[in-house]
Structure 1
Amino acid sequence: MRTLNTLSELKETGFGQPPPRHGLNLLWWFAHECVQIDSNGSMTANCDPASGAFGFERFYNKESLLPKLIHPLVYYEVGNLHKSDSLPDYVTENYTGHSDSSNKDRIIVSFNSRWKTFENIYVTQHSDQFHFDQNHTYCISIALLKDIKELSRNKDFPRGRTNHSEHVSIDIPHSAQIKPYKSQSSCEECCAMLTSVLFLVMFIAAIVWFFK
């Protein structure tokens, strides 16, 4: 399974994009509200998945989507908008209530209830109403979670602009990209035409002077 370490890698996967998918807002919410990362890289849970808070529910991994766990670790998933009314509005605002892409994305965590810590964080999406897509399931690294924690949701995320991480560029429309080139090309053509006219005038003047 691929581990995503940077914002650009997250963008490349297409997870949570485009609206009405809710995965990016769900991931931003999780990074800011559900997990605390200490200097040793330990991910302490700010919420209790086992209690069902925010719509967390047990994920049994029946299809071996994720690695097998050793006790006391347990998988929980969150993000099913059909079963949660406690997630913030910015996560749920595009939910239609139908079987479409507005309820496609999920976060799955491996949780140690004894120490109240997360071992791993995964993002995934439904391939149909009942199954998750193995080819679009990724592990989120601690470094990426830290980067997301530094992003403001409306201004930066998912553009990916932090103080120290790489800047994820926004695609520029093709028409906008070629305008400077056209302007430069037109200038060069104009200079070439003026040079030709000047040369022609000098040539005519030389002929006139020769036959005087």
Structure 2
Amino acid sequence: MGSPAPRVNNDTQTHRQQSLQIIQSSSHTASYRSTGTPSTREQEITFNINTRGTMVQTLNNMEELRKSSFGRPSPRHGLKLLFWFANDYIVIKNDNQMVADPDPKEGDFGFHHFQNRRECENNVCKRLLPYDGYPFYEVGNLHLPTSKSLPKYVREGNTHQIDTSNMDRLIISMRPDMTVDKVYVTQHEDLKSFDPVNTYCISRGLLMIICGHSLINFLKQAGYYTQNVIAPRESGDTRIDMEGGCRAPPSAAPGFWESYCTIL
């Protein structure tokens, strides 16, 4: 018969568990080292985290916005929410930076923190939005009492029923200096979750274009009054590394911003 298995000292085992230390961490890998007792060899364990997810397409002009079918047709409110945001919420400084006014942390207009949680299944982890290190804030839930400060034209189509009249949202990422880093639009795919496939990044160039329109003209060009809406994209179209950001909008010619919005 073989020798009996050696007894494990519970104190030593506990010590080894308590000495598990994070020695490296990034969005893709996390490495740990178990130091144990002085006589125990160091062991390193690396966990590879798959961070691939659904691509966030950037919309750069009115044609791309219209083809996305975001916020339409009536009674959806996403296009009206986007128009309000571009014309009345952000302030464009003379260095072309977008400044939030007021701070979304104050909760005006129904703004509240958006977690952008990583959800993992079968070792594949996804976020709705690319993580850039900045906090996210969401607006557009017309059921919140604070949303009553939104303009009437944004709220008037809300039926207070379970339908499409409250499915659209706008999400921004904020830098510490109060400038808006990125702007996203999305829609609910059910009562709990947002649809990652029909989530879009709105370029600063498109926001400036929207500033140059009246509400009615903007809605017409965006196809809001057209009933033949292109079907939303189906899941599984494209996958990318979620740690990447939006595609940068094309560089604008001199005087581009001034031709659309007043620069403060």
TM-score, normalised to structure 1's length?
0.72
Q: What letter corresponds to residue 78 of structure 1 in structure 2? A: V
**Residues 1:148 and 2:210 aligned together:** yes
Q: Which residue of 2 aligns with 1:38?
A: 93
1-structure distance, mates of 2:80, 2:109: 14
Structure 1 segment 129-208 matched on structure 2, within 5 A: 129-154=191-216, 156-160=217-221
Q: Tell me the SS of whatever aligns to 2:148.
A: coil
2-structure distance, mates of 1:13, 1:69: 24
Give the CA RMSD over aligned residues: 1.9
| Pairwise CA distance, 1:54 | 0.3
1:94 to 157, 163, 171: 157
Q: Percent identity?
A: 46
Aligned residues: 161
Q: What letter corresponds to residue 87 of structure 1 in structure 2? A: L
Q: Is the 8 A contact 1:44 1:116 kept in 2?
A: yes
2-structure distance, mates of 1:16, 1:74: 24
TM-score, normalised to structure 2's length?
0.58
2-structure distance, mates of 1:150, 1:143: 11
2-structure distance, mates of 1:78, 1:96: 18
2:75 to 4, 20, 34: 20
1-structure distance, mates of 2:91, 2:174: 13
| 1:135–1:21 distance in 2 versus 1, CA, 3 Å | same
| Pairwise CA distance, 1:38 | 3.2
Q: Which residue of 1 aligns with 2:137?
A: 76
Q: Which residue of 2 aligns with 1:206?
A: none
Q: List alignment gaps of at least 5 residues for structure 1.
A: 162-167, 174-212
| Pairwise CA distance, 1:68 | 1.4
1-structure distance, mates of 2:96, 2:189: 32
| Pairwise CA distance, 1:47 | 1.8
2-structure distance, mates of 1:134, 1:109: 15
1:61 to 112, 116, 126: 116
What does the per-residue CA deviation read over 1:43-70, in whole Å, with 9 as the maximum and x for residues that have no partner?
A: 1112211010100011001141001132
2-structure distance, mates of 1:134, 1:38: 31
| Structure possessing the higher radius of gyration over alpha carbons | 1
Q: Which residue of 1 aligns with 2:171?
A: 108
| Pairwise CA distance, 1:159 | 2.9
Q: Is the 8 A contact 1:41 1:142 kept in 2?
A: no
1-structure distance, mates of 2:82, 2:191: 21
Q: List alignment gaps of at least 5 residues for structure 2.
A: 1-55, 120-126, 229-264
More strand by share: 2
| Pairwise CA distance, 1:41 | 3.0
